[in-house]
Structure 1
Amino acid sequence: MTNSKIPGLYYTESSKSAVPLLSSEAHLQTVTAEPWLKISDEGLQLEGLCFDRNHNLFLCEVFGGSIFRVDLPEKKVNTVFKSEKTNPASVKIHKNGRLYISYLGDFKDTGGIIATDDDGNNPESIVSDIDTDYCVDDLVFDSKGGFYFTDFRGYSTNPLGGVYYVSPDHSKITPIIQNIAVANGIALSTDERVLWVTETNANRLHRISLKEDGVTIEPFGASIPYHFTGHEGPDSCCIDSDDNLYVAMYGQGRVLVFNKSGYPIGQILMPGRDKGHMLRSTHPAFIPGTDQLIICANDIERGGDSWLFTAKGFAKGHTSYQFQ
């Protein structure tokens, strides 16, 4: 017989969630994003949100290689070309107007970066998949025309990834930090002196203070202000004009927001996440000149569709160097 006086555990609404929030994070300022645009009826691994100078939105689909453009204000979705490289993970626009497309290759040693026209023509190798072993996931430009990129290699006990800087003339690649278990998202502060990096397979947020040369770390300047919890980990990120950092949580259907020192101050949830929907939230990006954030997510694991969602951030998005 069961003794009813024995203490026992029971499910609450929170503990029954497919992705329960930590008690320390559940009390953050929280909003739920609204649907903004369906990209596909299929579950596509959407990534790499990037607005061009006309405020049209480019993004990519990792596993199929499609590069999409959403023409605004009509929200017309166009497949503009297929990446000639395997597993594109981000699209960024250089100040010269060219698309810089990072690609993961075979997830081992055949990734890199190519530059193309906005229709995919005239490809140019920027970081070679022949001469290097990187699997490039994301990149961010500085005001000089150089850029930082993340190397998406390794796993929790085999930290092969890192962060590197490519000079403006593309002639030199300089390591910034190494020995990272899958370096993923990357963002640069408004003054270009702080580099943010997410480490997916170790669930960590890196804050790197740089000297004026952009490649030397300040004394004691590399730190880990936040440790994430849960499956699968932090993904791509962006900043707003107040230097707050927005980090998409892959497999958790949400975006966590941090202040410029790395303290969590808010979060944006994807609708349906408690029931396991739209958990693959990968990338946030601001519509230029506004405080409106666009976030991509999908329902691949449930055979569902792929959407862009929207919510407002704490401040307007930072005017990236790609628009200057």
Structure 2
Amino acid sequence: MDEKNTISLQYSRNSAAFPLSADENQLQTVTAEPWLEISKEALQLEGLCFDREGNLYLLEVFGGRVFKVSLPEKTIETVFGENTMNPAAIKIHKDGRLFLCVLGDLNSSIGSGGVYAIQPDGSNMEEIIAPREKYAVDDMVFDRKGGFYFTDFRGHHFDPLGGVYYVSPDFNSVTPIAKNLASPNGISLSKDERSLWITETNANRLNRIELLDDGVTIAPYGSSVPYYFSGYDGPDSCCIDTDDNLYVAMYEQGRVLVFNKNGCPIGQILLPGRENGHMLRSTHPAFIPETNELIICSNDPVGGGGSWLFRAKGFAKGHLGYQFA
């Protein structure tokens, strides 16, 4: 064999450490722009949530702090100090309280987290779901009745311990919706409240659940996996717009994938520098109220780029959900 004439594989720009798959490389793609630096440190930012006045709340998971970004000035203040609870998301109840989803002990599959409510200034903490219930609560979404769905971020694909649950409006009962999931993470509710979207991080799956009128029973043939993600690490938090498109942050990939209401990919938003390994820890997208401007949080532990919020425009205006009902 003449080795000089043997054709060999060649690396290209798209075969770097963080390539896009062949099909996703053909999607409509935009690159976000820097919007606000939260810290020079690489903080695990999560939980973007806007209040009625348009101010933004967010948190850092491993330090536990909750930040408030007052707009339009973009001034940053800490409203809840350092702690060891490992919070992962913030949602705002219709009465104005901040609901914190707490993972608890990250080294335990037993579950020692819960849900807590605090005032916007960080005071008067109340226990909504206690650690004794043995959940690792990662994210939640309110329905119009004042109840909420949450994800239990436990397990892996060899031992799927996680699930999705519904908490009644009086917070007195917890009803299982789906079990045996591998660390379900992000959760969104469609505009008509009939469809639940769940990202399953440790199985790299997007789950769609059709609900009956009671809001807790899966409709006949109502569960599906519209999409399997590729690459490490997996899908994280998500949100919807007013056209019921779903925006899913991809952790350790520096981007957000967008799906239509049927779960078909229709676009993506890349974070600047991702092709060189920067700002890969994209965790959460959220819309500025009454606009199609999407804010995405990420951090850059390898490249030393700190912790940032980025901005891009989505297909439609963001859906406010029922936290303002």
TM-score normalised per structure 2: 0.97
Give, in angstroms, the shift of residue 84 of structure 1: 5.0
Are 2:282 and 1:253 aligned? no
Q: Is the 8 A contact 2:210 2:218 kept in 1?
A: yes
Query: 1:94 and 1:83 mapped to 2: Cα distance?
Result: 23
Give, in angstroms, the shift of residue 302 of structure 1: 3.3
Are 2:161 and 1:180 aligned? no
Q: After superposition, give the CA deviation of every residue in 1:79-101 in whole Å (9 maximum; x if it has no partner).
A: 11126551010011000100000
Are 2:152 and 1:151 aligned? yes
Query: 1:137 and 1:185 mapped to 2: Cα distance?
Result: 7
- Quick one: which amino acid aligns to residue 288 of structure 1? P
Residue 13 of structure 1 aligns with which residue? 13
Are 2:8 and 1:3 aligned? no
Residue 281 of structure 1 aligns with which residue? 282
Are 2:101 and 1:102 aligned? yes
Query: 1:221 and 1:155 mapped to 2: Cα distance?
Result: 23
Which of 116, 122, 130 lines up with 1:114 in the alignment?
A: 116
Over the aligned positions, Cα root-mean-square deviation in angstroms equals: 1.1
Give, in angstroms, the shift of residue 156 of structure 1: 2.1
Which of 106, 126, 129 lines up with 1:127 in the alignment?
A: 129
Q: After superposition, give the CA deviation of every residue in 1:183-236 in whole Å (9 maximum; x if it has no partner).
A: 100000000000000000100000000011110110010100000000000000
Q: Is the 8 A contact 2:33 2:311 kept in 1?
A: yes
Give, in angstroms, the shift of residue 304 of structure 1: 3.0
Residue 45 of structure 1 aligns with which residue? 44
Q: Is the 8 A contact 2:243 2:316 kept in 1?
A: yes
Give, in angstroms, the shift of residue 102 of structure 1: 0.6
Query: 1:73 and 1:97 mapped to 2: Cα distance?
Result: 20
Query: 1:3 and 1:183 mapped to 2: Cα distance?
Result: 50
Q: Is the 8 A contact 2:63 2:84 kept in 1?
A: no
How many matched pairs? 322
- Long gaps (5+) in structure 1: none
Matches within 5 A, 1:81-96: 81-82=80-81, 84=83, 86-96=85-95
Give, in angstroms, the shift of residue 320 of structure 1: 1.6
Query: 1:83 and 1:152 mapped to 2: Cα distance?
Result: 22
Query: 1:284 and 1:323 mapped to 2: Cα distance?
Result: 18
Query: 1:238 and 1:315 mapped to 2: Cα distance?
Result: 12
Query: 2:78 and 2:98 mapped to 1: Cα distance?
Result: 15
Q: Is the 8 A contact 2:65 2:83 kept in 1?
A: no
Residue 65 of structure 2 aligns with which residue? 66
Give, in angstroms, the shift of residue 2 of structure 1: 7.4
Q: After superposition, give the CA deviation of every residue in 1:107-150 in whole Å (9 maximum; x if it has no partner).
A: 331110000111111111101002x1110000000000000000
Give, in angstroms, the shift of residue 310 of structure 1: 0.4
Identity of aligned residues (%): 65
- Long gaps (5+) in structure 2: none
Q: Is the 8 A contact 1:83 1:120 kept in 2?
A: no
Query: 2:272 and 2:318 mapped to 1: Cα distance?
Result: 23
Query: 1:2 and 1:76 mapped to 2: Cα distance?
Result: 66
Distance 1:164 1:246, change over 3 A: same
TM-score normalised per structure 1: 0.97
- Quick one: which amino acid aligns to residue 40 of structure 1? S
- Quick one: which amino acid aligns to residue 145 of structure 1? G
Q: Is the 8 A contact 1:116 1:123 kept in 2?
A: yes
Give, in angstroms, the shift of residue 13 of structure 1: 1.3
